[in-house]
Amino acid sequence: MKLSSKWVQLAALAVLVAVLPLFFPSGYYYRVGALIFVNGLAVTGLVILIGYAGQISLGHAGFAGIGGYACALAPEHLGLPPSLSILLGAAISALLAVLIGKPILRLRGYYLAVATLGFGILVSMVLTNERALTGGPDGMAVQGLALRKILRGWGWRLSSGEFWYVMSALAMLLGVWIALNLFQSATGRAMRALHGSEVAARTVGIDVARLKLQAFVISAVYASVSGSLLALQNKFVTPDIAGFMHSIELVTMAVLGGVGSVVGAVTGGAILTLLPQVLTVFAEYEQLVLGLVMILVMIFLPRGLLPSIAAKMKGRGE
């Protein structure tokens, strides 16, 4: 592995997650932390699609929308508990990813970007327009997870912020562990190979279409679970979750942090989640500064924040 071994990366993340709350000045920061981890999970999925397999998607927020609305709709209409609704959302997302992935993954580069963009817009339009079911642009309320009540029964009194901080962190760490497993496995190697050269990948027996689809489906499930967790902790969901801006945000996080490395991309997610909070001091210039930061990073650290810095430190060390 390039940066370091799987367990070092996982341990570093876990320690960070465990230690950070010691420095939280108020309960509000648990919410910010949980948001970082939820984004980190979706971004990790995109690392598998973009960083490993070399395929772009500008519509993954669509899967987050499906995950989010599954948690809103399934408990109400199917009587499913919210925890199982996460799985239902993931299953629907996976199925949909297979159905749309098969035809559109034949496309490459810009064409694939535009096709996935179309998918994302489609999902957000359905969520906006099916008022009777989804409440339209106003969104709808989402039930809480029963697990928190159970924990309280056992004497664990966690605030909503604390509870979701822990749950989101666990989900992200699980996601990162799976992505790192994949990186070193035969399937992950084959994905990276087709990223390097599709024509050569075929000559070593790699079924390129099948592997692209696998990467697409896996990343869709990540996005879906991320959307579910977001809806559950906000206790509310609006079509924005599936919106174009959310898709772009996710890709930007991954690329900014370094799309070839899971930890890098998660860092990118953390920075882009935090920056708007920090940049509020710039008041109405917030968006301007945010844009400027992104442009500067891409100019001076083109491989993304973490890999570029790691490469520089390595170069200095030798």
Partner 1 sequence: MSLLDVSGLGIGFGGLRAVDNVGFSAEPGEIVSIIGPNGAGKTTLFNMISGVYLPDSGHVRLDGRDVTGAAPHRLARMGLTRTFQNLQIFQDMTVLENVIVGFHQSESGALLSDLLALPAARKRSEIARMQARELLRRVRLDKAAEELAGNLSYGALKRLEIVRALAMQPRVLLLDEPAAGCNAVETEEIDHLIVELAQSGIAILLVEHDMKMVMRISNHVVVLDHGEKIAEGSPESVSKNPDVIAAYLGAGDEESVDADS
Per CB under 8 A, residues contacting partner 1 are: 178, 181-182, 184-190, 192-193, 195-197, 199-208, 214, 218, 260
CA distance 115 to 110: 9
Q: How far is the CB of 97 from partner 1 (least distance, A)?
A: 14
190 or 305: whose CB is closer to partner 1? 190
Q: How far is the CB of 300 from partner 1 (least distance, A)?
A: 21
185 or 287: whose CB is closer to partner 1? 185
Q: How far is the CB of 246 from partner 1 (least distance, A)?
A: 25
Q: How far is the CB of 224 from partner 1 (least distance, A)?
A: 16
CA distance 32 to 256: 19
- In this structure, which amino acid lies at residue 105? L
Contact 265, 46 (CB under 8 A): yes
| Helices marked H in the chain | 6-19, 28-46, 61-73, 82-104, 109-129, 131-134, 146-153, 160-184, 186-196, 198-203, 208-234, 244-257, 262-278, 286-300, 305-317
- CA distances (Å), 83 to each of 88, 166, 239, in order? 9, 15, 21
132 or 186: whose CB is closer to partner 1? 186
126 or 311: whose CB is closer to partner 1? 311
Nearest CA to 259 among 302, 200, 315, 290?
302
Q: How far is the CB of 75 from partner 1 (least distance, A)?
A: 28
181 or 287: whose CB is closer to partner 1? 181
Cα-based torsion angle of the residue sequence 111, 113, 116, 120 in order, rounded to the nearest 10 degrees = -140
Q: Residue 141: helix, strand or coil by DSSP?
A: strand
- In this structure, which amino acid lies at residue 108? R
In eight-state DSSP terms, residue 1 is -
Q: How far is the CB of 7 from partner 1 (least distance, A)?
A: 11
165 or 216: whose CB is closer to partner 1? 216
